Amino acid sequence: MDHRVVISGCSGGGKSTLLEALRERGYAVVEEPGRRIVREELASNGSALPWIDAAAFARRAVAMSIADWQAAAVLEGWVFFDRSLVDAASALEQVTGDGVLHELGRAHWYHHLGFFAPPWPEIYWHDDERQHGFDTATDECARLLADYSSLGYEVAVLPKVGVVERADFILRTLGAEGQLSE
């Protein structure tokens, strides 16, 4: 059973905050590729940004996600990903029509159970790295849910509760499968 666990879902749904809580508990976490790319592109006046060149952005996210997946192979215990290669390949397919999702998704498998942050308008906000609106985020979430399901992942929707309770939910769910290792 793969130890790489994906937390995906709606932009602005609390994923990054949840990953930080898991990091504070001693788990390895992988920051969202999109946020890293946006920071790099903004710092260098680059154009591989989702609101300027979505295809270039998605291609970089795919490459970064593959590197993250490979790097996590040597880590012990659970490794939690803020989004995954599935998210990046889904975005690339959405923008370019390239049929890469199933090929990449099957070649780079994560734990069979993924966690999804549902749309949660009360905690959604815009910032320099997230310039799209809540409706776009909700549409993206629906697309990702369908894509993860089409690849054979089980999806557990995170409850709309505090970050501590969400982290407990994930660890309890993984522990119920006998896979919890700290």
- pLDDT for residue 106: 87
Residue spans of beta strands (DSSP E) within 46-180: 79-82, 113-117, 154-157
- pLDDT for residue 120: 55
| Residue located via tokens 């006046």 | 45
- pLDDT for residue 138: 74
**12 is written with which tokens?**
């602005």
181 in any annotated domain: no
93 in any annotated domain: yes
Read off the CATH number of the domain in which 136 is found. 3.40.50.300
Residues of the chain with pLDDT under 50: 124, 130, 176-182
Residue among 67, 84, 59, 96 at smallest CA distance from 151: 84
Spatial distance between the Cα atoms of 58 and 64, rounded to a whole number of angstroms: 10
- pLDDT for residue 71: 96
- pLDDT for residue 41: 93
182 in any annotated domain: no
| Residue located via tokens 């995170």 | 158
- pLDDT for residue 145: 93
Residue among 9, 6, 5 at smallest CA distance from 137: 9
8 in any annotated domain: yes
Instruction: Provide the CA 71 distance to its chain's centre, in angstroms.
Output: 16
The total number of structural domains in the chain stands at 1
Q: Can you spell out the DSSP letters for 14-31?
A: SHHHHHHHHHHTT-EEE-
- pLDDT for residue 129: 54
